[in-house]
């Protein structure tokens, strides 16, 4: 702004503006960054392959359900897997997994959780794991996460 001077007497358009603008409440990304995207080290944008509403925010860290589900599917006894967030007083949300196991499987929830701990960072592995005979699906065969959220 014209005529503006900072405490040292210097003037100009940037006078008095020594710090970058803080984000407004609810503003989580820089202007011009497409929603649901991130910028890599080379400056390219890449998009999250999961729905943003499925994102679990655990203690301030973003946990993408698909990442946890992929770790679950690496277990030889897991046939179906789904990950949802469960409200938590201390952390905001907790990671909860639902799995359907192969017929005749002897794997336990602790075995599968240990499998995930080896493949995921500490804040991402599921704290609760429910073994179901079959995950609920809609008419198109898609797993219904909204029903699983109500069971979490």
Structure tokens at 54: 């499925």
Coil, strand, or helix at residue 146? helix
What is the structure's pLDDT at 18? 53
Residue 32, class by beta-carbon neighbours within 10 Å (0-12 exposed, 13-18 middle, 19+ buried)? Answer: exposed
Of the two residues 16 and 130, the one the predictor is more confident about is 130
Instruction: Check pLDDT > 80 for residue 5.
Output: no
Instruction: Work out the angle at residue 125's Cα, subtended by the Cα atoms of residues 151 and 66, and round it to the nearest 5 degrees.
Output: 75
Alpha carbons 143 and 79: distance in angstroms, whole number: 12
All domains of the chain in start order, with CATH:
52-151 (3.30.300.30)
Q: How many residues does the chain have?
A: 152
The string of DSSP codes covering 25-94 is TT--S-TTPPTTEEE-TTS-EEE-SS-GGG-EEETTEEE-HHHHHHHHHTSTTEEEEEEEEEEETTTEEE
Q: pLDDT averaged over the chain?
A: 81
What is the structure's pLDDT at 73? 95
Mean pLDDT check: name the lowest of 16-20, 67-71, 108-112. 16-20
Coil, strand, or helix at residue 145? helix
**Per residue in 81-118, pLDDT tens?**
999 999 999 999 999 999 999 999 999 999 999 999 99
Question: pTM value?
Answer: 0.67
Alpha carbons 28 and 26: distance in angstroms, whole number: 6
What is the structure's pLDDT at 151? 86
Mean pLDDT check: name the lowest of 40-44, 49-53, 129-133. 49-53
């Amino acid at each position: 702004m014209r005529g503006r001077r900072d405490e040292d007497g210097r003037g100009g358009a940037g006078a008095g503006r020594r710090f970058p603008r803080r984000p407004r409440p609810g503003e989580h990304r820089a202007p011009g960054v497409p929603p649901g995207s991130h910028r890599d080290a080379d400056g390219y944008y890449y998009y999250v392959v999961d729905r943003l509403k499925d994102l679990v925010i655990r203690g301030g860290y973003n946990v993408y359900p698909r990442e946890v589900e992929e770790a679950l599917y690496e277990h030889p006894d897991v046939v179906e897997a789904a990950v949802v967030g469960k409200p938590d007083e201390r952390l905001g949300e907790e990671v909860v997994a639902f799995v359907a196991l192969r017929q005749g499987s002897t794997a336990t929830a602790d075995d599968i959780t240990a499998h995930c701990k080896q493949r995921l960072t500490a804040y991402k592995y599921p704290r609760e794991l429910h073994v179901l005979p079959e995950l609920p699906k809609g008419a198109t065969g898609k797993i219904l996460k909204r029903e699983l959220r109500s069971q979490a």
